[in-house]
Amino acid sequence: MDATSRPLRVPPEMGIYAEKHELFQLMQNMLEGLLIHKPDEPIRYMISHLKQDNDHVPRVCILGPPAAGKTTIAMWLCKQFNTPRISQETLLEETLELTEEAKTFQEKGQKIPNALWASLIQERLSNMDCIKQGWILEGFPENQDQAWMLHSAGITPRHVVVLYAPDMVLIERNLGKRIDPSTKEVYHTTFDWPSDPLVQQRLVEAEGISEQETSKHLLEYHRNFPRVFQIYQQILKSFNADQPCADVLSQVLTYVQTRCRSAAPFTPRILFCGPPGSGKSLQAALIAQKYSIVNICCGQLLKEAVADKTKLGELIKPYFDSGWPVPDNIVLKLLADRLNRLDCMTDGWVLHGFPRDLDQAQQMERAGIIPNRVFFLNLPSESVMERLAQRMVDPVTGERYHSMYKPAPFPEVQAHLRQNPKDTQDNIRMCLENYYRHGGDLEEFYEDAFYINADQDPYIVFEHIESCIIKPLPYKS
> Average pLDDT, whole number, for the chain?
84
Q: How confident is the model at residue 24 (pLDDT cuts 50, 70, 90)?
A: confident
| Residue scoring higher pLDDT (82 or 98) | 82
- Report whether pLDDT(211) > 80: no
Q: How many domains does the chain have?
A: 2
- Shared domain check, 382 and 241: no
Domain span holding position 453: 271-470
Q: Which of 256, 282, 317 is the last residue of a domain?
A: 256
| Per-residue model confidence as pLDDT tens digits over 332-347 | 999 999 998 888 888 8
- Shared domain check, 435 and 379: yes
- Shared domain check, 426 and 311: yes
Highest mean pLDDT among 17-31, 233-247, 259-273: 233-247
Q: Which of 221, 256, 291 is the last residue of a domain?
A: 256
Virtual torsion, Cα 16, 19, 21, 27, nearest 10 deg: 130
If you ran DSSP here, which 8-state letter would residue 192 be given? Answer: B
pLDDT, residue 335, reads 92
Domain-located, residue 187: yes
- Report whether pLDDT(477) > 50: no
How far apart are alpha carbons 275 and 435 in whole angstroms? 6
- Shared domain check, 377 and 344: yes
pLDDT, residue 408, reads 80
- Shared domain check, 213 and 134: yes
pLDDT, residue 5, reads 55
User: How many DSSP H helices and E strands does the chain contain?
Assistant: 23, 15
- Shared domain check, 309 and 171: no
Q: Which of 232, 256, 280 is the last residue of a domain?
A: 256
pLDDT, residue 3, reads 47
- Report whether pLDDT(351) > 50: yes
Compute and round to an integer the Cα radius of gyration of the chain. 30
pLDDT, residue 1, reads 44
pLDDT, residue 476, reads 52
Q: How confident is the model at residue 308 (pLDDT cuts 50, 70, 90)?
A: confident
- Report whether pLDDT(4) > 60: no
Mean pLDDT confidence for 443-458: 91
The residues that bridge with 178 in the sheet, in sequence order, are 187, 205
| Per-residue model confidence as pLDDT tens digits over 126-137 | 888 888 889 999
Q: How confident is the model at residue 385 (pLDDT cuts 50, 70, 90)?
A: confident
Domain-located, residue 369: yes
- Kindly report the backbone phi and psi dihedral angles of residue 65, in degrees, each rounded to the nearest multiple of 5, phi listed first: -70, 170
- Shared domain check, 195 and 134: yes
The percent of residues above 70 in pLDDT, for the chain, comes to: 94
In this structure, the number of other CB atoms found within 10 A of the CB of residue 35 comes to 9
Report the interhelical angle of 358-366 vs 425-445 (nearest 10°): 50
Q: Strand 159-164 and strand 186-188: pairing?
A: unpaired
- Domain with residue 150: its CATH number is 3.40.50.300
Domain-located, residue 239: yes
